[in-house]
Structure 1
Amino acid sequence: MTLNLATLLEDSARRHPGRDAVVLGATRLTYAQLDAAANQVAALLAAHGVQPGDKVALSCPNLPQFPVVYYGILKAGAVVVPLNVLLKGREVAYHLADSQAKAYVCFEGTADLPMGAEGHAGFEQTPGCEHFFLITADPAAASPIDGVRTLGQALAEQPATFATVGTSETDTAVILYTSGTTGQPKGAELSHANLMFNALTCNRLFGSLATAHERHLITLPLFHSFGSTVQMNAGISVASTLVLLPRFQADQAVELLQREKITFFAGVPTMYWGLLGALHDGVDVAEIARNMRVAVSGGASLPVEIIKQFKERFGVQILEGYGLSETSPVATFSDPERDPRPGSIGVPIWGVEVKLIDPDWKTIEGTDEVGEIAIRGHNIMKGYYNRPEATAEVTRDGWFRTGDLARRDADGFYYIVDRAKDMVIRGGFNVYPREVEEVLLTHPAVSLVAVVGVPHEVHGEEVKAFVIRGGEITEDELIAWCKQNMAAYKYPRIVEFVESLPMTATGKILKRELAGR
């Protein structure tokens, strides 16, 4: 069977050639233009000897060039290796070598984020990577790096037509590197079928198939599976207009929600927190609410308090899903046929099974018992690239173990309790930081919080809360309030007020950094 993920773009370009596909500021690319530009990238790669199955790395923020290059690589039958835009030269070299990339396309970056210089330094350290193309903000600009061709120069010579390579459904389409918050990053190999099924299943869940024209605001980085599958691939498959925001800034996001009549927003919890904080008097909240149809959260558990506030302001229930790079990513989602349950990650998506297991892979059957989430279905990766031992550690009989702890209620809805490695063990009692965070967020003086375990001579670990204040309160007052509202073994004995919390490029709070403070 022949299946190539790039057909999502080709089909929409055939049906809606004149519709805006990608928008960034004054730049607007139609579906016909996006498809033609992707054909030029495919022709360029083929002209430089890139064969079907070869790996091509891509470092690019949310710019129109991201989908252009992404689908161009797929059209050539090659494998996309999207890289985190924050990587330094040494880290880029690791990813290029580990994925055995044959070519690398990298954005030039900015003075604050010199991606081009770091990317080229990494390329220079990787003998097996043969070609480097620099994306410039202005396609006609000269290369700022001596001896390096810009993508704009290289594409000018290429035709706008290309016969897409017929890949198999089991061929690898994308290698997504896990964030590396534990150990060295590993590349999850995702097939064309993995990603195609996930994108089409998203559209079933969101009701996008029945909507005349969806308009997405994409603030999630496209190099991450959440942004690339749930918004880019799913959106392009139904000819949505993708409005790009290269870096999440709440005030800019709110302005775009209003100006571009956005119907679909997806984000991680810190983005929703930011949006609510940016609703000043000049914002027409009623206009935003009139257009917004779908709000989706993932990447981390969304505090119930934020769900409540968002519904009050915008009239939209945030729908929560759950998944990982290794699961393409979506594995569970709010059941579209039943009322959403705030705090729940929903039920397994179509074609996917979920169960809870103990450390020995034994199934946990009981209602509300805590176990590790295991997943089986069309969304499970082929494996970690060139890492059979690491793959064997997390897979058995088609099941993938996630490292996330959850419980299941009597109706089959799942609730994340915590990452297995984030759990705090205080005096022999299990403390789930998420549960403590949920309680803290109900206090009017708490704006955002992260709870971690810190070493303690007597109890093994002590519970500590890092808090961004939203009002006046002292550390002692907050600890006293926690003592009144939580069991004795759970409440944080240590509170530290901070101006900000360390986050990944995708907006997840880096608890590992906090635990070291």
Structure 2
Amino acid sequence: MMTEQRCRPTAAEPVARRDIDAYSPPWADFAAFFRHRKDDDRTFLIAVSRGQGTRAEWSVGQWRNAVYNVADQLSRHGVRAGNSVAVLAHNSAETLALTFAVWLLGGCLVPLDPRDGDERHEEILQECGARWIGVDSGVESVARARRHASADTIVVGGLMSTQRREHPAVIGGPLDAPALRMHSSGTSGRPKAIIIPMRSILLNCHAMQEAFGWTPETRVLTVLPISHANGLLINSFLPWFVGGSTVLVDKFQGSTFWHIAAETRATTSSIVPTVLEYLLAGEAGDHPAPLMKEVISGSGPLRSTAASEFEQRFGIPVRQLYGLSETTAVLTATPPRTGGNLEPRLRKSIGTAVPHAQVDVVDSNGIPCGHGVRGEIVARGGMLMTGYANNDAANTKAFSGGWFHTGDRGYWERAADGKIWYFLEGRLKESIVRGGLNIAPQLIDEVVATHPLVQSAATVPFANRWQGEEIAVFVIASGDLTEAELLAWCAERLEPNMCPKVVIFGSEMPSTSVGKIRRSALALQLAGELARFWETSFRTETRGHRPAAVVPERRADTQSPLPAAQ
């Protein structure tokens, strides 16, 4: 029999999670927050299903009634405050209503990514002890949920009730109780279960409202999966917080993005770099003129040249944000621009700290780094997670020294306006150690990706007898490109120690559902092909030389033994 799994915080946790300013969410529970909107006749949700060719719309009052009805349905199945409820999180109105209803009852939502297999879903169900799986009424969704004998299936449909009603008899618990159980992306290790209380969600929503400048006139186009924090909290939940509205699209497709944006009068969209790249790569045909005032990019490093190209082509400003599931949603964001372009060096920045968050960069001893010095990005504030579920070792490490340690490498600079701007270079664990020098692979990615025939690129290390680790780059090309040509391109633009030595071309990039490169998986995938370079000594020439910059002087025997770490 499954038991409910709780998160046990460490002694260090309250220090990092302590509020850094006087703001505190003014509501006693989620029910009080949910009732605070009084604009019942304004549109809150437009749900667009490209697969079914449908569009449905809910006003604030209709949405409230829909959520109350779903909460009653959950209550009849026995869901109470403190219970975990899994939701097979397709981008549908029913899924979003389930989310609000679980929170209304004081439960902990456990989103299941539809892209994951049944085995992964069952693993999550067993870990969190959820006794229920909520799904929309789609045939495939219901069938998948019912394959899990360990949990009861709750099917939700028919949300269009217009009958006005009072809130359900059974409503939630305190704001500090667990409200959301997300999982880390697993790009640098096994995914960890992240516990976030409703108070952190509401506090971070207030921070985002202030940082983004969103108002009741804001309408967000949601094309990211709501099984992840960006799609769920920024695109779908934050609009309710600010009194605005959201457009929920079942799945992103570049060919329909601008049409849907124009038809629904969306004013913004929080996307990921992968989506922005697809929009840039789309055909230049005629599109309806959207009302978008800006797009926001997060969940991964954005090429500065891609952001500039997007602004020039579509006339829409691009802002960057940075955050992790462990920080609820957002830690930093590019401030809004009153006009003109960002100066070139700030184009690469992830912005300044949002309200209610304290951000810094520290060295390996926890000492703050100076201007431009690389280190680990750390944070404090009430928006932080409670902790990793049932993982004391990970909690102790993450909350050491009175900070939350993001595991991300970065630095800071002070801009002309006196503000501190932060810069992200990637995961610390992903650093390539070549001859004792730590190299951030994302810096190489960005240079390789500027080649006009490179669609996407990812840099990985491979074991090498002479340097410990050498550098390879995996490339998806959009035209006829040779290894020698790309190596010459890199030699012109990178320091010698950062130049790739091997180029491997392919057609599919391993990535998460929100577009983050699964670099460790890619390295494993390429390990066999790169093993033959174990004995190769690569000559490194002076920066600016042509293809001779990186020439194999000696080739490895294909039977050469690999170190155990490989």
Does 1:443 pair with 2:464? no
- Tell me, in whole angstroms, the C-alpha distance in 2 between the residues paired with 1:270 and 1:407: 24
1:119 to 112, 132, 145: 145
1:3 to 10, 28, 37: 28
Alpha carbons of structure 1 residues 222 and 164: separation in structure 2 relative to 1, 3 Å: farther
Structure 2 equivalent of residue 386 of structure 1: 390
Does 1:171 pair with 2:177? yes
Query: TM-score if structure 2 supplies the norm length?
Result: 0.80
- Tell me, in whole angstroms, the C-alpha distance in 1 between the residues paired with 2:33 and 2:77: 25
Alignment of 1:328-343 (within 5 A): 328-336=328-336, 340=342, 341-343=346-348
Shift of 1:408: 0.8
Shift of 1:335: 2.7
The letter for the 1-side match of 2:85 is V
Shift of 1:108: 6.3
Structure 2 equivalent of residue 145 of structure 1: none
Does 1:429 pair with 2:407? no
Shift of 1:116: 3.9
* 3-state SS of 1:489 partner: helix
Contact 2:106/2:174 (<8 A) preserved:
no
- Tell me, in whole angstroms, the C-alpha distance in 2 between the residues paired with 1:373 and 1:230: 22
Alignment of 1:68-467 (within 5 A): 68-107=97-136, 114-121=140-147, 123-124=148-149, 126=150, 129=151, 131-135=152-156, 139=157, 161-163=167-169, 165-209=171-215, 212-284=216-288, 287-288=289-290, 291-336=291-336, 340=342, 341-360=346-365, 362-396=366-400, 398-411=402-415, 412-467=420-475
Structure 2 equivalent of residue 22 of structure 1: 46
Worse overlay, 3-12 or 363-372: 3-12
Contact 1:61/1:246 (<8 A) preserved:
yes
Structure 2 equivalent of residue 499 of structure 1: 507
Q: Deviations over 1:452-499 (max 9, x none)?
A: 112222222221112222343212111112112211111111112222
Shift of 1:183: 4.0
- Tell me, in whole angstroms, the C-alpha distance in 2 between the residues paired with 1:227 and 1:295: 14
Contact 2:95/2:135 (<8 A) preserved:
no
Contact 1:92/1:119 (<8 A) preserved:
no
Q: Deviations over 1:285-306 (max 9, x none)?
A: xx12xx1112111100100111
Worse overlay, 98-107 or 321-330: 98-107
Contact 1:503/1:509 (<8 A) preserved:
yes
- Tell me, in whole angstroms, the C-alpha distance in 2 between the residues paired with 1:410 and 1:241: 35
Alpha carbons of structure 1 residues 490 and 80: separation in structure 2 relative to 1, 3 Å: same
The letter for the 1-side match of 2:363 is D
Worse overlay, 502-511 or 336-345: 336-345
Structure 2 equivalent of residue 147 of structure 1: none
The letter for the 2-side match of 1:173 is A
Shift of 1:217: 1.0
- Tell me, in whole angstroms, the C-alpha distance in 2 between the residues paired with 1:192 and 1:301: 28
Alpha carbons of structure 1 residues 455 and 395: separation in structure 2 relative to 1, 3 Å: same
Q: Deviations over 1:81-121 (max 9, x none)?
A: 112112222211211121121321134667xxx55444333
Q: Deviations over 1:293-335 (max 9, x none)?
A: 1211110010011111011012222111111111002111113
Alpha carbons of structure 1 residues 409 and 38: separation in structure 2 relative to 1, 3 Å: same
Q: Give structure 2 stretches of 5+ with no counterpart.
A: 1-25, 49-53, 527-566
Contact 1:216/1:241 (<8 A) preserved:
yes
Q: Give structure 1 stretches of 5+ with no counterpart.
A: 141-151
Give me the CA root mean square deviation.
2.4
* 3-state SS of 1:301 partner: coil
Shift of 1:512: 1.8
Q: Deviations over 1:5-50 (max 9, x none)?
A: 45554333x3133424232232222222221111112112222222
Q: Deviations over 1:181-207 (max 9, x none)?
A: 344432211111100011122121221
- Tell me, in whole angstroms, the C-alpha distance in 2 between the residues paired with 1:470 and 1:56: 44
The letter for the 2-side match of 1:206 is F
Structure 2 equivalent of residue 490 of structure 1: 498
Worse overlay, 334-343 or 260-269: 334-343
**Structure of greater relative contact order (alpha carbons < 8 Å, 6+ residues apart):** 2
- Tell me, in whole angstroms, the C-alpha distance in 2 between the residues paired with 1:409 and 1:427: 28
Shift of 1:177: 1.7
Contact 1:370/1:406 (<8 A) preserved:
yes
Alpha carbons of structure 1 residues 46 and 461: separation in structure 2 relative to 1, 3 Å: same
Contact 1:447/1:468 (<8 A) preserved:
yes
Worse overlay, 177-186 or 441-450: 177-186
- Tell me, in whole angstroms, the C-alpha distance in 2 between the residues paired with 1:17 and 1:187: 39
Count of residue pairs brought into register by the alignment: 484
The letter for the 1-side match of 2:96 is P
The letter for the 2-side match of 1:467 is V
- Tell me, in whole angstroms, the C-alpha distance in 2 between the residues paired with 1:38 and 1:432: 46
Contact 1:355/1:363 (<8 A) preserved:
no
The letter for the 2-side match of 1:399 is W
The letter for the 2-side match of 1:68 is A
The letter for the 2-side match of 1:275 is L
Alpha carbons of structure 1 residues 478 and 182: separation in structure 2 relative to 1, 3 Å: closer
Contact 1:40/1:160 (<8 A) preserved:
no
Structure 1 equivalent of residue 64 of structure 2: 35
Shift of 1:392: 1.4
Alpha carbons of structure 1 residues 107 and 465: separation in structure 2 relative to 1, 3 Å: farther
Shift of 1:446: 1.8
Shift of 1:388: 2.6
1:480 to 478, 488, 503: 488
Contact 2:103/2:172 (<8 A) preserved:
no
The letter for the 1-side match of 2:146 is H
* 3-state SS of 2:496 partner: coil
- Tell me, in whole angstroms, the C-alpha distance in 2 between the residues paired with 1:3 and 1:306: 44
- Tell me, in whole angstroms, the C-alpha distance in 1 between the residues paired with 2:470 and 2:143: 43
